[in-house]
Amino acid sequence: MRGAWVVQGLFPCRWLKNHQVNPSDGFPGSGEYGTGDPSSSSVGELTPKPQPAPIESDLQKGKVAIVTGGGWNIGRAIALKLAREGARVIITSRNRDNLEMTAAEARREDLYVRPVIADLMKPSDVHRMIGGVLGKEGPPDILACMAGGFGCGVPIAESDPDEWRDVLLRNVFTTYLCCRAVLPPMLERQSGDILTCAGGGAFFPMVGVNATAYATAKAGICRFTDQLYVEVMDIPGIRVNCMEPGMTWSPRDLDRIIEEEKALGRPHPLREMNHPPEDGARLACFLLSPEARCLNGRILSVDEDWWRDPSRVKQVSETDLYRLRRTFD
């Protein structure tokens, strides 16, 4: 009897299975702590401002939402979409400039987005950030853990142990610390939504790229999500889900791709697989909304669209699909 760990029903990161990857092409789930550029773990050029959009609904009206990595790329798109849906949003990361860019965009749209500078790898900074939220906005209803990013993209025999560990800290440890901080008020109120972020290598090997640190970190986040869900599953008002945002190039990556395409005279082979940050934001905000109240402990990919159909959502909620489970044949 053979066994395998799978996410039943999910085929995330299809491009990773079908294409060899250049590390500089960007990676799914690149967050505020990483640029998608394996040569650097620092934040690169700022994301161009999204086009202003009207409030599409009031699904999150009155909610308090924390978005880690909310100054950059997918995190920025999630923060702005939550605010457009009526939430009071707190964005946090180490990068003041990126946070201010997101906050400035929110001010132009008259949205509530408050930036908080914090190193989410430090328990003291996370404690200070949560304390400020409790004091200013009140207990958090939503936590979206988008901080993270790629790093240590070299063969493991050549890797620096500190850099390898740093990738895990930036992805897994920040997620753990923030969940640890928001759970007490959520448990007290028996209500809250937590969203974590998977990425490339979490489910399938990343062909043609050295990514042991990043793949391990993202797989760890998936397993953390599944375990945390089980530990709070007796409280029906608390939900813990995970999103797989697909390949999302950073603005710097996209500019480079455009220049390469001009030189080569043809589209980049991975362009059709690339998602704008707003795609990830739509999936994230669905999972954090009342429309997904029947989904808990699930891992959903932006590469699929069944979750847009309420009848399909109901069907999935009655199964064990889209979870981490060991299956046998």
- Among candidate residues 50, 103, 61, the one with its CA nearest the CA of residue 84: 61
pLDDT exceeds cutoff 50 at 323: yes
The pTM (predicted TM-score) of the whole model is: 0.83
Spatial separation of the C-alpha atoms in residues 301 and 12, rounded to whole Å:
6
Q: What is the pLDDT of residue 2?
A: 39
Return the pLDDT at 13: 38
Q: What is the tens place of the pLDDT at every residue in 18-37? A: 333 443 334 444 444 543 33
Residue with tokens 């702590």: 33
**pLDDT for 154-197, tens place per residue?**
999 999 999 999 999 999 999 999 999 999 999 999 999 999 99
Q: Kindly report the CA angle at 238 between 234 and 241, in degrees rounded to 5? A: 105
What percent helix, strand, coil does the chain show, rounded to 5?
Answer: 45, 15, 45
Q: Check whether 143 has a pLDDT greater than 60.
A: yes
Q: How far is CA 215 from the centre of its chain?
A: 14
* 3-328 topology per CATH: Rossmann fold (3.40.50)
Give the separation between CA 59 and CA 87, rounded to whole angstroms: 8
**Which sequence spans correspond to the domains of the chain?**
3-328
**Distance between CA atoms of residues 51 and 304, nearest Å:** 25
Contact 146, 78 (CB under 8 A): yes
Chain centroid to CA 242:
8
Among 55, 71, 29, 35, which residue's Cα sits nearest to residue 303?
Answer: 29
The SS3 of residue 318 is: coil
CA dist 262 → 86, 227, 256, 258, 265 (Å): 41, 47, 10, 6, 5
Question: CA 272, CA 314: separation in Å to the nearest integer?
Answer: 30
